């Protein structure tokens, strides 16, 4: 059994985040154990977090703190489904996701191995297509959990994404 080390783990829920120190054998073990988390590894953020009062726990503990317990339970359920982890460990993944909010649209996304966008095409109901990249986003947290089995059915080919990217217009002001 390999030695455990301490990882800084973040669950970014949009308007804030929950943070923990988790002792685990690897980054992958953390990501396979808890849904919708990120292992923060930038030296500046790790140094900053040393001064925070964060709960510290072992990945093998039966009981988890509030917030992390639900993320482990969610991952346990996902692990039972076909497609669990099918998109993990890829350098690039292309996805099509529908948004049914106030302004319905379809998003074609190019996502890196950390779940962050690198490029995106927003296709509106009328067919207009706007492309954006990280320069347009003040923040770029992970937008998908690549272990989530539901993503397998949202995957599109690189050719489909590139065709949409080439046909789209840049966001106004660019």
10-35 per-position pLDDT tens digit: 999 877 899 999 999 999 999 999 99
pLDDT at 53 over 70: yes
pLDDT digits (tens, 9 = 90+) for 108-137: 999 999 999 999 999 998 889 999 998 888
- Rounded CA separation 53/33 (Å): 23
- The 3-class secondary structure across 20-80, one letter per residue, is EEEEECCHHHHHHHCCCCEEECCHHHHHHHCCCCCCEEECCCCCCCCCHHHHHHHHHHHHC
Q: What is the pLDDT of residue 14?
A: 78
CB atoms within 10 A of CB 82: 8
Q: What is the pTM of this model?
A: 0.89
Q: Which residues contact 91 (CB under 8 A, 6 or more apart)?
A: 112, 113
């Amino acid at each position: 059994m390999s030695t455990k080390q301490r990882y800084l783990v973040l669950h970014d829920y949009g308007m804030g985040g929950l943070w923990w120190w988790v002792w685990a054998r690897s980054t992958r073990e953390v990501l396979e154990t808890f849904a919708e988390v990120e292992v923060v590894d930038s030296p500046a953020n790790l140094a900053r977090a040393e001064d925070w009062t964060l709960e510290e726990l072992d990945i093998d503990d039966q009981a988890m703190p509030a917030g992390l317990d639900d993320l482990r339970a969610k991952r346990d359920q996902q692990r039972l489904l076909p497609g669990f982890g099918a998109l993990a460990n890829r350098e690039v993944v292309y996805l099509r996701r529908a948004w049914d909010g106030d302004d319905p649209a379809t998003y074609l996304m190019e996502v890196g191995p950390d779940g962050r966008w690198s490029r995106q095409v927003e296709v509106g109901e009328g067919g207009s297509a706007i492309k954006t990249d990280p320069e347009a986003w003040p923040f770029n947290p992970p937008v998908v959990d690549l272990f989530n089995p539901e993503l397998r059915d949202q995957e599109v080919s690189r050719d489909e994404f590139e065709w949409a990217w080439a046909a789209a217009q840049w966001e106004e002001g660019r």
